[in-house]
């Protein structure tokens, strides 16, 4: 098995910068589209053989250093009595919504058996992959936003109303999701994943004050209780939350493009860093792409260790050929003067 990714996760310098991409298995890839024409998204997630095939596609085609399980951050809700649907052009739809303390009775403890297709896919992948496999889940807060809003949101009015009008009830909701997330991730580790990534996709909507109260204790509890594999923490808009992220004790901090990686190296000295190219850079000229990638590689070399990634998922308009060239460029890049 290729070791560069896991070595970097553990904080060790590597001979070359390992690379993988968030949402590397997806709609931009013709091979994915062929399968997607036959099955809806949720069926793909729930069929271990299909999930495994789609997970492997970018590893074979792009030559990345790690695979991430093909699934969705909302899958744990399926085991908690919450229905999720994926509607074209509308994204995930969640029901029933939970917008007050009195609604918490609609949530049940996660039944791992209800989502065993995830663990069956992992077992297939562990046998077939020659690179490490990353398992993942949404953070408790990000799960909460979808359950409260019923879908994605721009302003998160219902989420913040619940937080600020019924803080005790909101904390109870976070406790429920923390327990479920930890159980879900622990089961992924038992099935064989080599690393875990926690997607705190919407934590950046909060002030640092509210992040400390409503998010940090729960994320920290999960990270502190994950054993035997490295943990990657991804949070959009990380720069405003820097003081709180610094003591989460994750192995790797995955940063978006809204912070200069040079600044991130200085702020997050104890972390291995992952990131942080703007995904839409890949729609530009190759000259622009590789200039920016080179800068990230050079500045990332000053971190404890560095894993190249995008600041968010691969955009559907990205050309596969560009990603292939990017992976080769990163693997072949020679550092000088660092």
Interval 268-280 mean pLDDT: 95
- Domain housing 119: 4-332
Task: Take residue 193 and report the two structure tokens written for it.
Answer: 């994943």
pLDDT digits (tens, 9 = 90+) for 112-131: 999 999 999 999 999 999 99
Domain count of the fold of the chain: 1
Q: Flag whether 337 is in a domain.
A: no
Catalytic pick from 28, 32, 117, 146? Answer: 146
Nearest to 169 by CA among 105, 121, 221: 105
Predicted pLDDT of residue 337: 57
> How many residues are present in the chain?
338
**172 — pLDDT class (breaks 50, 70, 90):** very high
Distance between CA atoms of 4 and 10, rounded to whole angstroms? 10
What is d(CA 297, CA 310) in angstroms, rounded to the nearest whole number? 12
85 pLDDT band, cuts 50/70/90, is very high
Query: Does residue 270 form part of some domain?
Result: yes
The residues facing 137 across adjacent strands are 198
Cis peptide before 287 (omega within 30 of 0): no
Write the CATH number for 182. Answer: 3.20.20.210
**Does pLDDT of 234 surpass 70?**
yes
Q: Is 72 a catalytic residue?
A: yes
Task: Compute the distance between CA of residue 190 and CA of residue 131 in angstroms, rounded to an integer.
Answer: 18
Q: At what angle do helices 216-225 and 167-191 cross, to 10 degrees?
A: 20
Distance of CA 311 to the CA centre of its chain: 11
Helix, strand, or coil (residue 180): helix
Q: Which residues pair with 253 in a beta bridge?
A: 233, 273
- Which of 23, 32, 117, 299 is the catalytic position? 23
Phi, psi of 15 (to 5 degrees): -65, -30
Residue found under tokens 């950046």: 204
Q: Is residue 280 part of a domain?
A: yes
Q: What is the pLDDT of residue 285?
A: 96
CA separation for the pair 211, 55 (Å, rounded): 33
What is the residue whose two structure tokens read 């990380």?
Answer: 238
- What is the SS3 assignment for 155? coil
Predicted pLDDT at 323: 98
SS3 content of the chain, % helix, strand, coil (to 5): 50, 15, 35
Work out the average pLDDT over 262-289.
96
The lowest-confidence range among 6-10, 216-220, 239-243, 244-248 is 239-243
- Domain for residue 43, yes or no? yes
Whole-angstrom distance, CA of residue 194 vs CA of residue 332: 25
Integer angstrom CA distances of residue 126 from 78, 197, 216, 230, 280: 24, 17, 32, 17, 32
Query: What does the mean pLDDT of the chain come to?
Result: 95
Say whether 146 is catalytic.
yes
Choose, from 10, 16, 36, 260, the residue flagged as catalytic. Answer: 36
Instruction: Determine the pLDDT at residue 303.
Output: 96
Has 10 been annotated as catalytic?
no
Residue 259 within any structural domain of the chain: yes
Average pLDDT over residues 296-314: 97
Q: Provide the token pair at 88.
A: 């074209």
Q: Which residue has the tokens 């590893």?
A: 59
Whether residue 35 lies inside any domain: the answer is yes
Q: Which of 27, 258, 292, 295 is catalytic?
A: 27
Structure tokens at 166: 């019924």
Place of tokens 């998010």: 215
Lowest mean pLDDT among 83-97, 129-143, 222-236, 244-258: 83-97
Catalytic-labelled residue, pool 65, 72, 200, 256 = 72
- Exposed (0-12), middle (13-18) or buried (19+): which is 262, by Cβ within 10 Å? middle
> Token pair 């080179």 is at which residue?
294
Residue 145 lies in a domain: yes
338 assigned to some structural domain? no
The token pair that represents 261 in the structure block? 């990686």
Distances (CA, A) of 118 to 127, 261, 302, 306: 15, 34, 37, 29
> Can you give the pLDDT at residue 91?
82
Please name which of 159, 157, 179 lies closest in space to residue 170, comparing C-alpha atoms.
Answer: 159
Strands 252-254 and 83-87: unpaired
């Amino acid at each position: 098995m290729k070791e560069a990714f896991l070595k970097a996760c553990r904080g060790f310098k590597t001979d070359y910068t390992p690379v993988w991409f968030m949402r590397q298995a997806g709609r931009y890839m013709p091979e994915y589209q062929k399968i997607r024409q036959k099955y809806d998204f949720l069926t793909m997630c729930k069929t271990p053989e299909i999930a495994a095939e789609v997970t492997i596609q970018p590893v074979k085609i792009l030559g990345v250093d790690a695979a991430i399980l093909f699934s969705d951050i909302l899958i744990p809700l399926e085991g908690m009595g919450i229905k999720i649907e994926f509607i074209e052009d509308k994204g995930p739809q969640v029901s029933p919504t939970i917008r007050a303390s009195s609604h918490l009775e609609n949530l049940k403890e996660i039944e791992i058996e209800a989502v065993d297709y995830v663990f069956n896919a992992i077992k297939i992948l562990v046998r077939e992959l020659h690179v490490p496999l990353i398992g993942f889940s949404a953070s408790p807060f990000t799960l909460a936003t979808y359950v409260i809003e019923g879908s994605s949101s721009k302003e998160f009015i219902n989420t913040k109303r619940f937080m600020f009008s019924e803080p005790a009830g909101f904390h109870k909701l976070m406790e429920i999701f923390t327990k479920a997330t930890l159980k879900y991730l622990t089961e992924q580790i038992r099935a064989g994943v080599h690393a875990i990534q926690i997607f705190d996709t919407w934590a950046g909507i909060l002030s640092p004050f509210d992040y400390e109260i409503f998010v940090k204790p729960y994320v920290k509890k999960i990270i502190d209780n994950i054993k035997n594999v490295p943990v990657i923490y991804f949070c959009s808009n990380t720069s405003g939350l820097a003081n709180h992220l610094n003591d989460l004790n994750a192995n790797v901090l995955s940063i978006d493009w809204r912070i200069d990686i040079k600044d991130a190296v200085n702020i997050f000295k104890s972390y291995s860093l992952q990131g942080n190219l703007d995904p839409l850079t890949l729609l530009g000229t190759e000259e622009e792409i590789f200039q920016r990638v080179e800068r990230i590689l050079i500045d990332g070399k000053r971190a404890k260790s560095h894993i190249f990634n995008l600041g968010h998922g691969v955009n559907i308009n990205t050309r596969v050929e560009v990603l292939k060239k990017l992976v080769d460029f990163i693997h072949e890049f020679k550092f000088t003067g660092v």
